[in-house]
Amino acid sequence: MAKHTVTLIPGDGIGPEITTAMRRIVDATGVEIEWEVVDAGEGVVEQFGTPLPDHVIEAVRRNKVAIKGPITTPVGTGFRSVNVALRKALDLYVNLRPAFSIEGTGARYKDVDIVIVRENTEDLYAGIEFEEGSADVAELIDWVAAKGAGTIRPDSGISLKPISVTGSARIVRWAFEYALANGRSKVTAVHKANILKYSDGLFLRVAREIAAEYQGRVEFEDRIVDATCMGLVLRPEDFDVMVLPNLYGDIVSDLAAGLVGGLGIAPGANIGADCAVFEPVHGSAPKYTGRDMANPTAEVLTAALMLQHLGERDAGDRVLAAVKAVLGEGATVTYDIKRTNTGSTDGAVGTQAYADAIIARL
Ligand code: NAP
C-alpha cells in the first residue's frame, strides 16, 4: 500500500496538463502516493447536476489531503465558484500563500521570503450583502439611523464585515504555530484598527493576546495595512510570516506574489482543522488549454508545500531545489518565463518538457 493517499482534482483549462506535470515530478521523488483522481467543475455538471459533487468533498474528507488544478468559474450559470464552495464545505480557514524569490523569473526583487497567512472564512468575504434599492437596505438604513449609529445614503449597497474572536484566534494561532514549526522568527499582524475599531480592532486585540503566549519564542509586530503595502515595496526583507483578515490577505498576497515574479509561480494552500487542499493561485488560463504551453511551476511549488505537509520535507526541498535549478539556468522554460526574461518566446519549451527538466534535476 502506498504511504499516502492524496485526492487529485485535475480541474479544467490548463489544469489537467499542469497537474500531470506535477504528478510526474512528485512521483519521480520516490515518495509513494496513491492518487485518487476525482473531477469537479463545469465538465461534471451534466452528470451530477453540480460542479462540486458530494463524492468529491467526501474524497477530500477521507484522504485529508488534496491537490487541485484551477477550475473555471462559468459566468452567468448560477453556480458559485467550486473553489469557494470547497473551502466552505471543509471549513478551510487558512489560506497559505508563500512568496519567495527564485532566480530566473524576472522578478523585481531578489531576497524576498514571506509567508502570508490569510483568514479564509469571514470579513467582507462572508457574502452577507444587501442590494441597492432593496427593502432590506431601506430597513437596515432605518435601523442604523434609529440606533444613532450614522447616516447611510438611501442609494447605497451594503456589505457586512464580520470579524469574530473565534475566527481571529484560530488564524493567528495557526500563524504562530507555522512560524515555530518552520523556524520563522516573526509574525506581523496586519489591520486597519485605527479606523475599524470593532472589526479590525478585535482582530488586533486577539492577535496581541495570542502573541503573548508565544513571547520569547516568536517575535510579534502589528502594522496598518496601507503602511504594510508601502513597506512591502520598499523593504520586503522586513517581513517574515504575515497574518491578515480575509480582504487584506487577498490583496497583500497578490502584491507579495508580484514582488517575486507574479501568479505563474505562486503556490498556495487552503487548510482547515481536518483537511488541506493545495492549489496554485492562478486560474485555468482557458486560451492555453491542451496546447502544452502553460507553466506548471505554481502547481509544482504547490506540490512541494503539500509534501512538507505530508511530512515529506526532504522530497519537498528536492522539488524546490530542482525548480530553482531549471529556472536559474533559464534554458528549458515555458513561454511566459522566456518572454519575461528575453522579451520573446523563442526557444521556450512545453509544459511536459519543462517537467522533464525538473525531473532530471531531482
Ligand atoms: P488566469 O487563468 O490566471 O489567467 C490569466 C493570464 O495569466 C493567462 O492568460 C496567462 O497570461 C497568465 N497565466 C496564468 N496561469 C498561467 C500559467 N500557469 N502559465 C502561463 N501563464 C499563465 O486568470 P483568469 O483568466 O482571470 O481566470 C480564468 C478562469 O480561472 C476563471 O474562470 C477564474 O474564475 C478561474 N480561476 C480559478 C482559480 C482556482 O481554481 N483556484 C483561481 C483563479 C481563477 P498570458 O496570456 O499573458 O501569458
CA-based nearest residue to 92, from 69, 121, 128, 63:
121
Model confidence pLDDT, tens digit, residues 270-279: 999 999 999 9
Q: Domain residues of the chain, as ranges?
A: 1-97+265-362, 123-160, 163-259
Please determine, for residue 1, whether its predicted confidence score (pLDDT) is greater than 80.
no
Work out the number of other CB atoms within 10 angstroms of the CB of residue 195.
11
Q: Confirm whether pTM is higher than 0.85.
A: yes
- In this prediction, residues 168-179 reach a mean pLDDT of 98
Model confidence pLDDT, tens digit, residues 7-32: 999 999 999 999 999 999 999 999 99
Model confidence pLDDT, tens digit, residues 31-70: 999 999 999 998 999 999 999 999 999 999 999 999 999 9
Work out the number of other CB atoms within 10 angstroms of the CB of residue 344.
10
Model confidence pLDDT, tens digit, residues 104-118: 998 999 999 999 999
Confidence of residue 236 (pLDDT cuts 50, 70, 90): very high
Model confidence pLDDT, tens digit, residues 66-88: 999 999 987 766 677 888 889 99
Give the integer Cα–Cα distance in Å for 299 and 317.
15
Dist. CA 263 → ligand 1 center (Å): 8
Q: Considering the domain 163-259, what is its CATH architecture?
A: 3-Layer(aba) Sandwich (3.40)
Whether 1-97+265-362 shares its CATH topology with 163-259 is answered: no
Question: Which ligand 1 atom sits nearest the alpha carbon of residue 298?
Answer: 18
Give the integer Cα–Cα distance in Å for 225 and 193.
9
Mutational pocket test of ligand 1: of 67, 284, 327, 351, the residue with most ligand atoms within 8 Å of the beta carbon: 284
How is domain 1-97+265-362 classified at the CATH fold level? Isopropylmalate Dehydrogenase (3.40.718)
Dist. CA 284 → ligand 1 center (Å): 5
Instruction: Return the pLDDT at 344.
Output: 95
Catalytic entry in 91, 142, 226, 274: 226
Ligand 1, atom 34, residue with closest C-alpha: 73
Instruction: At 356, list the grid cell.
Output: 522533464
